[in-house]
Amino acid sequence: MEIINHLLIGKINAIQNIEISKIQYTPFEYVVEIKKTYPTSTVQNYILKETSCFNKRLLDSLKLVSLKENCLEKKMNQLSTTEKIKVELAIALILNKECIVFPYFSQYFMEKDKLFFKKIFKKLATKYKKTICFLNSDLSFLMDFVDRIVLIKKKETLFLDSPTFYEKELLNEYSPKIVEFIDYLNHCGHKFLNYTDSKELLKAIFREV
């Protein structure tokens, strides 16, 4: 699927209708997702099998995703969701992939975990120049983070540069709640700017009411 090859950080709408496993990935990409089954082998053996690597790079990658060295002795199939995602991300880093793809990322986690991973993503994007692609239907947690949105709607692909979350005809039901609310307020005759930060919205409401 061509989108993946020149992707970008963004949100893909209607991704549920795209079968991830059928997308052809290039060797430059790694898909960080929880696999259907995991072996009973240790994390160390799993990483070795996937990467054929056991050197400083492995330890550095584990450190980057906040996994302690002693986790290498744990059994892969007994890890928590967060730990599995971290291991998969570490593998992507060991393999030094240019593009890291996260299908359904935000749906695995709640606020605290999302914030934790967001810090890692920012570091990967800025310091290590990685391209990160989120396949998601939840825009809200990506609002202050993405450079580009790829919207798939009715089998058409739309590229939105410098994301305009207020493209309501395009994003429609997938708009973040803050966008939906400001849209509604303006529809009711109030005048609000297109805020993407709820603190800014809060101050604006305070001034208006």
Which x/- pattern over 159-198 shows residues binding another protein (rule: CB under 8 A)?
A: --------------x---xx-xx--xx--x-x-------x
When the beta carbons of 75 and 148 are compared against another protein, the nearer one is: 75
Question: Would you call 146 helix, strand, or coil by DSSP?
Answer: coil
Query: 31 is written with which tokens?
Result: 């898909």
Single-letter amino acid, residue 82: T
Task: Assess 50 for contact with another protein (CB under 8 A).
Answer: no
Task: Name which of 80, 94, 87, 78 is nearest 33 in CA terms.
Answer: 87
Binding of another protein by 45 (CB under 8 A): no
Q: Which of 71, 131, 126 is nearest to 102 (CA)?
A: 131
* Interface map 12-41 toward another protein (x if CB under 8 A): --x-xx-xx---------------xx----
Q: Quick one: DSSP state of residue 86?
A: H
Measured CA to CA, the distance from residue 30 to residue 36 in angstroms comes to 16
Distance CA 134, CA 204 (A): 31
Q: Considering the rule CB under 8 A, would residue 54 count as an interface residue with another protein? A: no
List interacting residues with another protein (CB under 8 A).
14, 16-17, 19-20, 36-37, 74-75, 78, 80-83, 85, 104, 106-113, 138, 140, 173, 177-178, 180-181, 184-185, 188, 190, 198, 201-202, 205-206, 209
